[in-house]
Amino acid sequence: MIASIQANSRKYKIDFTKPIDISIPLRAASTNVSAYYLEPPKIDPAIDNQGYSAQVSEGASVNFNNISFNPHAHGTHTECVGHITEAFYSVNQNLKQFFFLAEVITVVVEKLGDDLVISKKQLQFALGNKKRKAVIIRTIPNTLEKLNKQYSHTNPPYLLEDAATYLREKGVEHLLVDLPSIDKEKDEGEWLAHNAFWDTKGKIRTQATITEFIYVQNFVKDGTYFLNLQIAPFENDATPSKPVLYQVITD
């Protein structure tokens, strides 16, 4: 199905029959992507008080699984400012629109001391004067390892504070990255990029979201897309999500 959508005073055509899923599936396995020192997710049949397992292969009439995981540590998730505030904010209550004009950019992380970082200068070069509600950052190298990497204690790449400030000032409301976090793994609780993006020292941007642990395959070219940011309706600061891209059709 081809549809016309208006954004930024322009009309765009997109083909809804060709979605590009940039989420990482959650699996009950040691190879599930992981961060922040947690054990892998668990998906197990429910057991009743008589010890019967809710699993068809064990004689039950249905499969009836319990799932245990952490949205921040175990896969693609979307979070709101409630991730770092004393006050409770629910991503389900604050994300009320789900379709955005987005820009996919590819960044080669820079060396800064012992760290690998994304700088304001890199984002300025990649985005130029484009105005987008959502920005999707793919980092290089971009290998399949991102689908099952164990990130704990590895000091993954992250965004510098001024890079997050630049995105906020540019009007970006939804930031998506293929990293476990936009901040340094061990930063003594400062969360500089998160705080800058959500403007916690100014007028808090409760409508803004950060989506981490995405994976943008190499066949996806840098450029303009429409983003459908699908979330599970958890009343929590973060929730599992399924961001899907749709390529803009040019005449």
204 lies in some domain: yes
User: Tens digit of pLDDT for each residue in 115-126?
Assistant: 999 999 999 999
User: Tens digit of pLDDT for each residue in 26-60?
Assistant: 999 999 999 999 999 999 999 988 888 999 999 99
Q: What is the pLDDT of residue 101?
A: 95
Is residue 192 classed as helix, strand or coil in its secondary structure?
helix
Domain that holds residue 136: 2-26+73-249
84 lies in some domain: yes
C-alpha–C-alpha distance, residues 199 and 202, integer Å: 5
157 lies in some domain: yes
Is the alpha carbon torsion for 86, 98, 119, 157 positive or negative? positive
203 lies in some domain: yes
Residue 209: give its domain's CATH number. Answer: 3.50.30.50
151 lies in some domain: yes
pTM value is 0.95
Provide the domain count of the chain.
1
168 lies in some domain: yes
Instruction: Specify the DSSP class assigned to residue 41.
Output: P
